[in-house]
Structure 1
């Protein structure tokens, strides 16, 4: 381009640059003819959104001749991508000054600069050119809170202008990615990612090791039993992946999805170095790290010119960092996947010992990997869930600060894209990964106004209640059993009130539209507001129906009511999916088995005949509140607790006997505990907020009439997590054994049926349940009942 044209453009007036006014514009967007796909899309979207903002459409110059004409003219010229870097070479130096100097994978950076009538928007790569345009549009008020048109907020303005601008920025993380698992709907995903500064940078880290080691499986065993640290395994693996590595292709060496248990003498010795309390067995990290370093060293020697990476998951029983001092070989990139560590609280939260432990784990991995660490993040964080809101920003806003301080590569999030569950989680993740100092509260305040318009205030209260409940909760687990601890009846009532207030605001806005044709609901229109409140209302109907179901089953033992509520919730969920497939993604998952919501409804449908006379007659529901006592020193059995009176004086003497503080300090004394919620969620935690694990006892007394003791009587525990021994009137009468101590490896009904025929007596019967709880999620969580078997 002619130097004279450039000089003319740079010396245009320095006042605000008017891009569009009163529905008219003389602006032109310039992009190189050979622009990359996202660079070109950036220019096209800039044209599109300027028109949306101002009702005036600028010209698009995507040829050299059109660009020359635009620069000769007097109108504003917005130059995107390579064209900007060519026109003003000093932009490259600005990018170099802020970009990561020696990136492992890729350095992203952007520059936005005004020179006279020129507005220059560029980045370090194809994606980054788009980020520069996204940053400009963000400054003009454009938002993309969720993928697709539903989550878009574009204001309207009579004049679109720009003052002085000279801005260059680079994010601290190279990896800022999410992907959709469980066949989630990807509509709008790619655009949403770029508009919120995500990228697709990653090193393959999916489960892959079995592909290369199947020949090494010992006879009669599985992929999880191959020798790991053995030199022969390393040589075999190196030979398998050498062609790809030599060609410069990144390769995954990640373990398969399970728990490894090698019979190799070397592996067994290394496995004795540490016990993994999360997976209740030996840690195999030391063995795996020896394998990975051997493979990497051999590949580097065979192909020294290659810059390929070897990805692996720090997952399952190799989540803990190794005990032996080791530095990972340069090609290795670790993906730390803390699948069983509290996803609700941040790394520095005093209410979560697991999160504080996780910070130490993460920082040690970062040191071992010399920064080549990516967090494999889960969002939604509740892994087996019920389409209820599951916010995560309350934790992520803290975690991202720790990630930056540790100097890691970034975060790769496994998402399902179910917006009724995740809402703004991904939006906030993208913004925080781009700039960890972003004020998440300010982003949320902005969201309420732009997304809900005239209903912003009640909706801010609605979502604020939900966010606060998750932020303040004691629970640290990650499946649907936590729901009643968070979504209490009192919270549901408050949410209903806020939602109804928002719907009143919607009616008022619609009336105003009739009175003033052309009025807009904060630039979004009444239809957008209606759709967004309907989305929120349907989500609330799903939430209330599910919680009604849980309370009917777990608290009241009313299985007919539980089934009815469950079916009502599933119907509301169908309406959500009909409204938009990104709202609820259960249809693509294929929910089969008792772990899923339809399976939970089926479980209650199958329990109903034991109480309605078909298979059994309800004799009595056992008390909702039992006595509970921790037994960390295993004193209960030798001390014959089931034969002794239960002393309640200690907890009754406390100023606030049911408070969390009282429970934390109660030591080995008896305390009351409900049987409709697992133990830890009721405060059965240590003073430093570690979930109590180990032995414990439940006790209740129940009086029966003589007629109630007749026939084939059974005690049904509809929800019990642990191995247990049941004592009746001082004697052990039944033992419950599980197939695996890890609760999720067992039947998800978690039921136990005990035949008590001939064992119950008229008058008082004393029940003691001795549980062994090795993990979080402990105790009884659905109220037990007695039934009389009906002879068929």
Structure 2
């Protein structure tokens, strides 16, 4: 019956052939009756064709026909064949258009820009025009369309586009396939001897041109892993292509390489505050900052770029469609007097400690863009140039890679808190200046540390649709191989960047159901959702995990453990073996979070032995997660970072050695709760608040293990916390028998700057450091200031000019043994 229907169908759609035969052999009335019968047969055939059976009972029922000389179409056909074979055990044959189509395969899948598609009016996206314009890079997309027993899979294959590949994976999603994480561990491939598809008519175009999360070097990633990650990215809709010229920290130096220019023209390079040129002839180009106001720098840069575009000079930062420039990492600035920066001398410490350089840098970039109007000039709005310039007109051929490194990652863009709202304002202002703005944020957003769960899924559900409405060109996010922390946020990001209106709740429900089973999935989701909700509930605005140690405490982590206990119980009867193995991974992640909470608790009690044990437990759990999937976590073996669990374990061991006689002895632990007083008008020095007999009876108290921002309610509805001077006071006893010869005062952290008095006498000053530099501890010799056997008093004055501030982590007095003193 099927073969009869297919034969009649082919006969009917060939209208000219049918008409010529009918006119020759039939009377008009007979012809009309016969055609009516054919219509009935066609309707019956369409009902039989409601599903296209690609594989039936383990045997191929379809053939793939690849458009001639189209490499991407061939790749896409093989992708489909590979996955269908994994599903059913049957491999669909592949032929090239023009070859004889075997009759035993009635379903025909045309892949690529085939002549057959054109003949039936199936329009497949095509074209690529990289010229600078407002609507650049909007040609991408694909088509999935069935007509009778034929299915057409094709997309834009021009330039960097991978449309046919995206179409192939969307087709496979229709078969129930999913790729939630990189690697085999993260995929769901159904198993069935019969594979069928419902009729479809899908034309899909991405909402964003730039769609990428690239893996940085923070977590070791092998070449093979990077290749696997890139392939996985295409499966979920990322486009790893470079639409705009590549730009990164230090690309500015490629314009005038120090090795070529420094000896004869040192004035081309920036000068520091001390009058020294911040460069030498052997310096790597990406570390060199140029003196941008020097007119000769612009002139020589233009000459070099003209040579590069003419093929007469090789420059790393130059591509066929333009160039990329950005100062080195940090907050570089030129302080020379000969060519002073045309600076407005504006400083905004909560974004960067130093002068804002937006006008100077983007004035230089704008001059280059006007010289090369047919090229893109890629720039980075980062650090001391994240804010849009106030007095510079930006040509439309400038691309801005916006990198808000100081963004709050605990809340989304709908939050009323100031840091998120200011980011939204910054994005909108940039988009008024140029249509080519790409978001370069960080995922994980907690930049350094312990790899605890984040809330990027919830954030992206709000932020990405908002960015689409604003007109952002896309996102090129800096990522890491740390899916134990980011979880499904990469998958959700990819789906939203393709379709900003995607239903995130539905995507999550589908993931948890498919990955863990219908019964188990909701409880696993409840655990992750609880983590996201807990982070959102805090008033802390941060991008470092040592500022959320009051959020993920032992009580909370223990409370939400019940979700996974239910999941485990149900998995015994309602999950497959594969789903049970996946649940074990989540249990390891939950164990890791508990170890983090217990480590923090032990640290707060100065139980260094226990804190070290929990830190090492975290380290071992990361190893186990790596064994489950290398993309979940990679243990660092090159060196020990002090803000990773293994680094914290080392720090705790050092503290313990100062306590137990190995390198020193504990003299006394400073009280955790201290007297506290804000000094909004800087009255404390004149008022001599540092004196031992200062009356502090009416002062408040603060927990010295946590910053004051972690303990206080915000001052405003926008979440502004107190910034400025504040004072801590405490009293302690010193047992003379515990002193060797010298006594050291150790404070675990002061943000950002501190002054210490012991018994009314000045002990030392901790210089100003960025709070996220992890250089916050302070130690000073107080041997001559303490009074053994008598009450002692200590005063600490703290200054933070922005963000967060105060004392944090515990403090103590210890006495080094002689060998340690000599060392």
User: Do they superpose with TM above 0.5?
Assistant: yes
* Alignment-derived partner of residue 129 in structure 1: 164
1:276/1:283 contact within 8 Å kept: no
2:114 to 83, 105, 115: 83
Deviates more, 1:495-504 or 1:485-494: 495-504
1:17 to 51, 56, 73: 51
1:288 to 331, 353, 361: 361
SS of aligned partner of 1:484? coil
1:782 to 809, 817, 820: 809
* Alignment-derived partner of residue 348 in structure 1: 414
* Alignment-derived partner of residue 748 in structure 1: 775
1:270/1:284 contact within 8 Å kept: yes
* Alignment-derived partner of residue 247 in structure 2: 205
2:407/2:423 contact within 8 Å kept: yes
What is the aligned residue count?
733
1:276/1:317 contact within 8 Å kept: no
Deviations 1:598-618 (A, max 9, x none): 332222211212211233332
Instruction: Give 1:635 shift.
Output: 2.8
Structure number with the bigger relative contact order (C-alpha 8 A, sep ≥ 6) is 1
1:577/1:584 contact within 8 Å kept: yes
2:63/2:95 contact within 8 Å kept: no
Q: State the alpha-carbon separation in 1 of the partners of residues 270 and 125 from structure 2.
A: 58
Instruction: Give 1:684 shift.
Output: 5.6
Alignment of 1:562 onto 2:622: no
Instruction: Give 1:789 shift.
Output: 4.3
Structure 1: stretches of 5+ with no match in the other structure: 301-306, 510-520, 649-669
Q: TM-score, normalised by structure 1?
A: 0.85
1:695/1:771 contact within 8 Å kept: yes
2:63/2:105 contact within 8 Å kept: no
Instruction: Give 1:717 shift.
Output: 1.0
Deviations 1:76-121 (A, max 9, x none): 222222127744563327889xxx9974235212222221112222
* Alignment-derived partner of residue 259 in structure 1: 331
Instruction: Give 1:317 shift.
Output: 0.9
Alignment of 1:49 onto 2:113: no
Q: State the alpha-carbon separation in 2 of the partners of residues 267 and 437 from structure 1.
A: 49
2:368/2:377 contact within 8 Å kept: no
Instruction: Give 1:632 shift.
Output: 2.3
Instruction: Give 1:481 shift.
Output: 0.9
1:493 to 544, 548, 558: 558
Deviations 1:163-213 (A, max 9, x none): 443222322211011211114332521222112111023320123111223
* Alignment-derived partner of residue 29 in structure 2: none
SS of aligned partner of 1:310? strand
Q: TM-score, normalised by structure 2?
A: 0.82
Q: State the alpha-carbon separation in 1 of the partners of residues 411 and 14 from structure 2.
A: 52
Deviations 1:415-473 (A, max 9, x none): 11222122111101101111111122221121111111253133122222222222323
* Alignment-derived partner of residue 94 in structure 2: 61
* Alignment-derived partner of residue 143 in structure 2: 111
* Alignment-derived partner of residue 196 in structure 1: 236
Alignment of 1:425 onto 2:489: yes
Pairs within 5 Å for 1:198-597: 198-202=238-242, 203=244, 204-207=246-249, 208-213=251-256, 214=258, 215=261, 216-217=268-269, 220-223=276-279, 226-246=290-310, 248-264=320-336, 267-273=340-346, 275=348, 277-300=350-373, 307-326=374-393, 328-350=394-416, 352-369=417-434, 371-453=435-517, 454-508=519-573, 521=575, 525-526=576-577, 528-553=578-603, 555-587=604-636, 590-597=638-645
SS of aligned partner of 2:343? helix
Deviations 1:717-766 (A, max 9, x none): 1233332122344x24223232x532345x63623345154533756544
Deviates more, 1:196-205 or 1:754-763: 754-763
Q: State the alpha-carbon separation in 2 of the partners of residues 95 and 240 from structure 1.
A: 35
1:95/1:111 contact within 8 Å kept: no
SS of aligned partner of 1:282? coil
2:141/2:204 contact within 8 Å kept: yes
Pairs within 5 Å for 1:626-645: 626-642=674-690, 643-645=693-695
Alignment of 1:171 onto 2:203: no
SS of aligned partner of 1:609? helix
* Alignment-derived partner of residue 749 in structure 2: 719
Q: State the alpha-carbon separation in 1 of the partners of residues 140 and 340 from structure 2.
A: 41
Instruction: Give 1:56 shift.
Output: 5.9
CA 383–7 in structure 1, closer or farther in 2 if over 3 Å, else same: farther
Q: State the alpha-carbon separation in 2 of the partners of residues 102 and 724 from structure 1.
A: 50
Runs of 4 or more off by more than 6 Å in structure 1? 9-12, 93-96, 704-711
1:230/1:291 contact within 8 Å kept: no
Instruction: Give 1:633 shift.
Output: 2.0
Q: State the alpha-carbon separation in 2 of the partners of residues 172 and 251 from structure 1.
A: 25
* Alignment-derived partner of residue 612 in structure 1: 660
SS of aligned partner of 1:269? coil
CA 56–567 in structure 1, closer or farther in 2 if over 3 Å, else same: closer
Deviations 1:761-785 (A, max 9, x none): 7565443321011233422221212
Q: State the alpha-carbon separation in 2 of the partners of residues 277 and 75 from structure 1.
A: 66
Deviates more, 1:487-496 or 1:679-688: 679-688
Structure 2: stretches of 5+ with no match in the other structure: 1-8, 16-41, 262-267, 280-287, 312-319
1:693 to 719, 723, 730: 723
SS of aligned partner of 1:543? helix
CA 607–743 in structure 1, closer or farther in 2 if over 3 Å, else same: same
Q: State the alpha-carbon separation in 2 of the partners of residues 557 and 102 from structure 1.
A: 58
Pairs within 5 Å for 1:640-651: 640-642=688-690, 643-647=693-697
* Alignment-derived partner of residue 120 in structure 1: 152
Instruction: Give 1:6 shift.
Output: 9.6
SS of aligned partner of 2:636? helix
Instruction: Give 1:639 shift.
Output: 3.4
CA 710–17 in structure 1, closer or farther in 2 if over 3 Å, else same: closer
SS of aligned partner of 2:411? coil
Instruction: Give 1:671 shift.
Output: 3.9
Q: State the alpha-carbon separation in 1 of the partners of residues 580 and 354 from structure 2.
A: 52
* Alignment-derived partner of residue 92 in structure 1: 123
1:725/1:769 contact within 8 Å kept: yes
Q: State the alpha-carbon separation in 2 of the partners of residues 383 and 585 from structure 1.
A: 16
Deviates more, 1:286-295 or 1:480-489: 480-489
Instruction: Give 1:412 shift.
Output: 0.3
Q: State the alpha-carbon separation in 1 of the partners of residues 678 and 124 from structure 2.
A: 65
1:245/1:299 contact within 8 Å kept: no
Structure number with bigger Rg: 2
